[in-house]
Structure 1
Amino acid sequence: MRKETRCVHGANDSKETNGAVSFPIYQSATFSHPGLGESTGYDYSRLQNPTREHLEKVMAALENGVGALAFSSGMAAASALMELFVPGDHIIVSSDTYGGTSRLFRNISVKNGLKFDFTDTSDIELVESLISEDTKAIFIETPTNPMMHVSDISRLSALAKANSMLTIVDNTFLTPYFQQPLSLGADIVLHSGTKYLGGHNDTLAGFLVTKSPEISEKLRFIYKTTGACLSPFDSWLIERGIKTLALRMEKHQKNAMGAARWLENHSKVRKVFYIGLESHPDYKVSTSQTSGFGGMISFEVDSEETVKKVLGGVRLISYAESLGGVESLITYPMLQTHADLPMEERLSRGINEKLLRLSVGIEDLEDIVEDLAEALGD
């Protein structure tokens, strides 16, 4: 089954026998048993729920994994992921990563005894130089948030395997429609399902997908013990969003390419970071491991005054802290997504007072460009 069809029909393994085209919402916390030692396969919704199970099968199929787990948010998924490790374990992480992930690792995971090195994971030799006997995993975000750096998943996965380590990839920006890390050698994929998978800015969700039955079993134990499972209704919302994922991602990409090229030629824009532009330094790596470039753009303008003008001047585009929905959103990383990073580190990454991040929606491209043009001015 091709990916466009899989988005619509899911895993094609429904237990629903009543003919419902839309898989039902099993809004039940607990399930009765036919008798002693007998079960319907469901006991308590923290352990599993038919609606959530159906969604998890869809995600496993889309990512070519053996198992998926649906969480109440992307950060809940990341938190559960860290429970695979024990005090003293060392993890190498993409330095330019989502601020919430960095906050989790630096404040919660470090407190729990884990060690981290944040580095440019697009530099294989640099990553290799940080490997020690305590290193258990490489955590990659590709493309990164917000600077759009791209890491070579296949090469890093091979390096990890050679050193008996896990490769973990945050695939939120490109989704399994444009990028499938497990097929490139990764062991675990992380998603904020809130973003493109849901696609409508109306619910929170997170996912972990793996191709290892052993890892899947470990994560399932952590999942049922810590309890950050996705509710039946939110599971249904996310699955409904996935049905249009292929259509939306193609439109996001088409609009993003058009907006990026327009921004490149604006007098007040100094730099444009979009992995679909041939001028992007990681363009060749992107084309080698993805089937598309997604809808995320970051761009640097000429002054902080222009930033204020844009954020106060957009009308169609909303000034809001998220991404991946049908509506275009613009964000100021320095004060929003990456506000918890020390200023020196933010600036070293290029997250300065002139950087904006744009999640390009599925509106008409001309309307998006007209809105940017009016907000930027001449």
Structure 2
Amino acid sequence: MPGFNTRVIHALHGNHLDAVVPPIHTASTFLQPTEGGEGEFEYQRGSNPTRTDAETTLAALEGAEHAFAFSTGMAATASVLGLLASGDEVIMGLPVYGGNYRWASIELPKRGVTTTFVPDLNQLTDEHFTDAVKMVFLETPTNPTLRVAEIRRIADLAHSHGALVVVDNTFLTPYLQRPLELGADLTVQSATKYLGGHGDLLAGVVATNDDDLAATVAQSQVILGGVLSPIDSYRLLQNVKTLGLRLDRQQENTRKIVAALREHPSVARVVEPGSFSDQEARIQSEQATGNGAVFAFELTQDKDVRAFLAELKVFGFAVSLGGIESLICLPAHMTHGAYSDEDRALAQIPENLLRVAVGIEETEDLIEDLTHAIDAA
């Protein structure tokens, strides 16, 4: 099989009259054969040539048979959680992204679906499963604590009880981790993040190798209508071709920044994938080819976090991640602000935990910005 970057760039080779850059089809509807039947494309909500190009490329990234492009990451996640029916139960890792938490704590109860949050999915056993459990939903590494869960073991356990496994792979993307190859049934990603990579579009993707699950997800696109527009499909299609290059640079920056912060006397701790325990370090090294470009840290108690944030000049104080610009946020008050106090404590998200998403700026500038802000706080 060709390498990752080759697959991504040449996924559409031979299409569109050999145009190097595919065209954008903005039509909302398509002429149909008058003799009966349906053409390849009928109405944009159902399918569109540009979105199909994006989905073909996204599937090539995953090494998947099927991929579906949605208008947001939450629309993608909603389509997968929509597989659950009244009376079902989902086991969900904790922490998860705040939007996923809201879906599980607000929307699923309206549908008669129960969520059981498990702080450490590596401790999942047969005892966690009842006949009602139909899905295990996990992030690895977790947002924002960077905990690592063993996908293959969880998938084997869940499948022995007839449950699906869904992995939110937003942090690592298929460039660094391929959950479908490790036994997951579906992956979801916020393509707003690394796949889009420039902070200028919203998108989500679902991928699977299961034909029946694919048919259900495709149906949800038609019914719910949360599909990616042709113009955003085109932009995502072009942006994702540099994913490998961007992530290589972002990871290089991250490694050097983490090393510098670990040496700083006013940094209490730094967390990254695999740093929680030797077990998680082993798992991370076995199932992923890199740690990505998100980490978190805490300052010592003598430092004022808000004063530190006010001193930053290069890092932007904002939610989101995965773009070429470096961002920093306070998850307890921002991305995970919807958590109950009890669940935030269970997820081990302290008030002053800073989540850092590293961009492609010059490494020295990023380190200088952080250290200056820490010293001045």
Q: TM bucket by the smaller chain?
A: over 0.9
**SS of residue paired to 1:44:** coil
Residue pairs, 1:265-284, within 5 angstroms: 265-275=263-273, 282-284=280-282
Which one of the candidate residues 121, 132, 137 is aligned to 1:134?
Answer: 132
CA deviation vs aligned residue, 1:85-134 (integer Å, no higher than 9, x gap): 1101011001111111001110011111111111034423x343211010
Tell me the equivalent position of 1:113: 112
Whole-Å Cα distance in 2 between the matches of residues 171 and 371 of structure 1? 29
In structure 2, relative to structure 1, the CA distance for the partners of 1:4 and 1:341 (3 Å cut) is same
Deviations 1:182-202 (A, max 9, x none): 001110000000000000000
Q: How many residues align?
A: 375
* Equivalence for 1:89: 88
- Cα separation, 1, equivalents of 2:152 and 2:29: 43
Match of 1:203 among 201, 226, 230: 201
Q: Find the aligned partners of 2:310 and 2:160 in 1 and give their Cα distance.
A: 51
Cα deviation, residue 66, structure 1? 1.2
Q: Distance in 1 between matches of 2:288 and 2:303?
A: 37
Q: Is the 8 A contact 1:90 1:136 kept in 2?
A: yes
The Cα of 1:177 is off from its aligned counterpart by 0.2
**In structure 2, distance between residues paired with 1:185 and 1:326:** 31
Is residue 71–residue 77 contact of structure 1 (8 Å, CA) maintained in 2? yes
**Cα separation, 2, equivalents of 1:99 and 1:177:** 24
Runs of 4 or more off by more than 4 Å in structure 1? 276-281
Letter in 1 for 2:76: A
- Report the Cα distance in structure 1 between the residues aligned to 2:276 and 2:102, rounded to whole angstroms: 33
Query: In the TM superposition, what are the counterparts of 1:158-237 in structure 2 within 5 Å?
Result: 158-237=156-235
Is the 8 Å Cα contact of residues 92 and 127 (structure 1) preserved in structure 2? no
1:79 aligns with 2:75: no
Amino acid at match of 1:133: D
Could you say which residue in structure 2 is the equivalent of 1:7? 8
Tell me which moved more, 187-196 or 273-282.
273-282
Q: Distance in 2 between matches of 1:58 and 1:99?
A: 28
| Amino acid in the other structure paired with 2:183 | G
Which whole-Å CA distance do the structure 2 matches of 1:81 and 1:308 have between them? 38
Shift of residue 14, structure 1, vs aligned partner = 5.3
In 2: Cα distance, 1:37 partner to 1:375 partner: 68
Match of 1:53 in 2: 52
- Could you tell which deviates more after superposition, 113-122 or 276-285? 276-285
| 3-state SS of 1:261 partner | helix
5+ residue gaps, structure 1, are: none
Q: Equivalent residue of 2:304, what SS?
A: helix
In the other structure, the counterpart of 2:29 is 30
- The aligned amino acid for 2:229 is S
- Are residues 189 and 165 of structure 1, via their aligned partners in 2, closer, same or farther at CA, if it must alter by over 3 Å? same
Maintained 8 Å contact 1:117/1:130: no
Which secondary structure does the structure 2 equivalent of 1:322 belong to? coil
Q: What's the CA shift string for 1:165-194, capped at 9, x where partnerless?
A: 111000000000000000011100000000
Letter in 1 for 2:16: E
Mapped contact 2:317–2:328 kept (Cα < 8 A): yes
What is the deviation of 1:347?
A: 2.8
> Given the alignment of the two structures, is residue 148 of structure 1 paired with residue 149 of structure 2, yes or no?
no
8 A contact 1:257–1:276 mirrored in 2: no
CA contact under 8 A between 1:182 and 1:210: conserved in structure 2? yes
Contact between 1:94 and 1:140, CA under 8 Å: does it hold in 2?
yes
CA RMSD of aligned residues (A): 1.6
Seen in structure 2, the aligned counterparts of structure 1 residues 104 and 20 have a Cα distance that, compared at 3 Å, is same
Alpha-carbon spacing, 1:12–1:121, altered in 2? closer, same or farther (3 Å): farther
Residue 321 of structure 1 is matched in structure 2 by: 319
Compute the displacement of 1:39 (Å).
4.3
> Which residue, 339, 342, 354 being the options, matches 2:352?
354
Q: Which residue of 2 aligns with 1:101?
A: 100
Deviation at 1:280, TM superposition (A): 6.7
SS in 2 for 1:324: coil
| Percentage of matched positions with identical amino acids | 38
Separation in structure 2 between the aligned mates of residue 67 and residue 38 of structure 1, nearest angstrom: 24
Distance 1:165 1:348, change over 3 A: closer
1:298–1:357 Cα contact (<8 Å) kept: yes
Alpha-carbon separation, structure 1, partners of 2:101 and 2:74: 11
The SS at the match of 1:282 is: helix
Give the letter aligned to residue 123 of structure 1.
N
1:54-89: per-residue Cα shift (whole Å, max 9, x none)?
Answer: 111111121121111100000011111122111010
Kindly provide the CA deviation profile for residues 303-347 of structure 1, in whole angstroms up to 9, marking residues without a partner as x. Answer: 385211221111111001110000000011111001111123213
Given residue 244 of structure 1, which amino acid in structure 2 is its aligned partner?
A: T
**8 A Cα contact 2:8 2:60, kept in partner:** no
Aligned in 2, Cα 1:104/1:111: closer, same or farther, shift over 3 Å? Answer: same
The equivalent position to 1:331 in structure 2, one of 318, 323, 329, is: 329
Output the amino acid matched with 1:174: L
The 3-state SS of whatever aligns with 1:372 is helix
Aligned residues of 2:193 and 2:199 also touching (Cα < 8 A): yes
Question: Residue 2 of structure 1 aligns to which amino acid in structure 2?
Answer: G
Find the counterpart in structure 1 of residue 239 from structure 2.
Answer: 241
Query: Structure 2: which 5+ residue stretches go unaligned?
Result: none
